[in-house]
């Protein structure tokens, strides 16, 4: 599985939203930005700013890739539950498909708030709610259920998107805006569908045989060809401010 390619795909889903939120957060005047859980640098590479840009991740291999894909950013190998910076160090702190994977999302958001300057901005750009996933036709609903269960076994909080706004409130962040990212109406390209299936195979692992996976993929291909396929995972964002 080419995870950087997958992260680039996810970055494309939120590109318009990120442009809007970063402008609202005053990125043009910001001096220091931090991405928590930056992975291979799929988001960092797209940020155009004269500000100091830092990417934090616990995975050294991912950070090595981030240094290649986003050379303007400074890598920080550390745990997002204990960010190694003093209070009020950054103007903007953000994350992207991150909080569903951490053991204590409230602690993670509280840490993001701590290192943000008073009046600074905290952004959770994308957190999915797999419990509200929609799969059509009905024959493909078990596929979504199996992938959701596989993600749970990997440690994901698959319904975290629905808890995002409340987590910001609990962390003492002044919530400015939250909502569900609007999915595009355009049918995904062949590359996008193949990338989705690569992710499904990686998620299911040994819980599904190659024969089962191929059967589900055939159903999926036929549904797309027949104009019947619907695949939607509601994904939530939140933008807040650290109180002054």
What pLDDT digit, counting tens, does each position of 199-236 carry?
888 888 877 788 888 898 999 999 999 999 999 999 99
The per-residue pLDDT for 184 is 56
Structural tokens at position 105: 């999302």
From the number of C-beta atoms within 10 Å of its C-beta (0-12, 13-18, 19+), residue 70 rates as buried
The per-residue pLDDT for 196 is 86
Residue boundaries of the structural domains of the chain: 3-131+156-183+232-241
Confidence at 52, pLDDT banded by 50, 70, 90: very high
Structural tokens at position 223: 């549904």
Q: Which CATH architecture has domain 3-131+156-183+232-241?
A: 3-Layer(aba) Sandwich (3.40)
Mutual angle of helices 3-13 and 190-204, in 10-degree steps: 120
| 40 pLDDT above the threshold of 70 | yes
Task: Give tens-digit pLDDT for 125-167.
Answer: 999 999 999 999 999 999 899 999 999 999 999 999 999 999 9
| Listed residue (99, 209, 90, 224) closest to 159, CA to CA | 99
The per-residue pLDDT for 102 is 98
The per-residue pLDDT for 185 is 55
Task: Give tens-digit pLDDT for 177-202.
Answer: 999 997 755 678 888 888 888 888 88
| Listed residue (79, 199, 72, 78) closest to 143, CA to CA | 199
Q: Is the pTM of this model over 0.75?
A: yes
Q: Which stretches of 103-189 are DSSP H helices? A: 105-114, 141-153, 164-170
| 1 pLDDT above the threshold of 80 | no
Percent of the chain with pLDDT over 70: 99
∠ CA 206-212-213, nearest 5°, is 75
Task: Give tens-digit pLDDT for 61-108.
Answer: 999 999 999 999 999 999 999 999 999 999 999 999 999 999 999 999
The per-residue pLDDT for 212 is 86
Q: Is residue 76 left, alpha or beta, with left meaning phi > 0 and alpha meaning psi from -120 to 50?
A: beta
The per-residue pLDDT for 201 is 85
Note whether 131 and 100 are within 8 A (CB).
no
């Amino acid at each position: 599985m080419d995870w950087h390619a997958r992260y680039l795909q996810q970055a494309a889903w939120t590109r318009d939203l990120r442009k809007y939120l970063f402008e609202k957060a005053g990125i043009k005047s910001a001096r220091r930005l931090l991405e928590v859980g930056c992975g291979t640098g799929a988001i960092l590479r797209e940020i155009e700013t004269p500000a100091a840009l830092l990417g934090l991740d616990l995975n050294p291999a991912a950070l090595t890739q981030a240094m290649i894909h986003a050379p303007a950013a400074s890598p920080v190998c550390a745990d997002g539950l204990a960010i190694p910076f003093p209070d009020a160090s950054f103007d903007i702190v953000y994350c992207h498909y991150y909080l569903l994977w951490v053991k204590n999302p409230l602690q993670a958001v509280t840490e993001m708030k701590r290192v943000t300057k008073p009046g600074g901005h905290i952004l959770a750009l994308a957190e999915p709610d797999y419990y509200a996933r929609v799969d059509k036709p009905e024959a493909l609903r078990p596929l979504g259920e199996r992938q959701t269960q596989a993600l749970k076994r990997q440690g994901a909080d698959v319904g975290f998107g629905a808890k995002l706004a409340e987590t910001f409130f609990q962390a003492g962040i002044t919530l400015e805006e939250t909502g569900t990212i609007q999915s595009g109406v355009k049918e995904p390209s062949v590359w996008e569908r193949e990338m989705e299936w690569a992710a499904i195979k990686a998620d299911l692992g040994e819980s599904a045989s190659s024969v089962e996976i191929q059967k589900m993929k055939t159903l999926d291909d036929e549904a797309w060809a027949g104009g019947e396929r619907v695949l939607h995972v509601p994904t939530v964002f939140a933008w807040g401010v650290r109180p002054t």
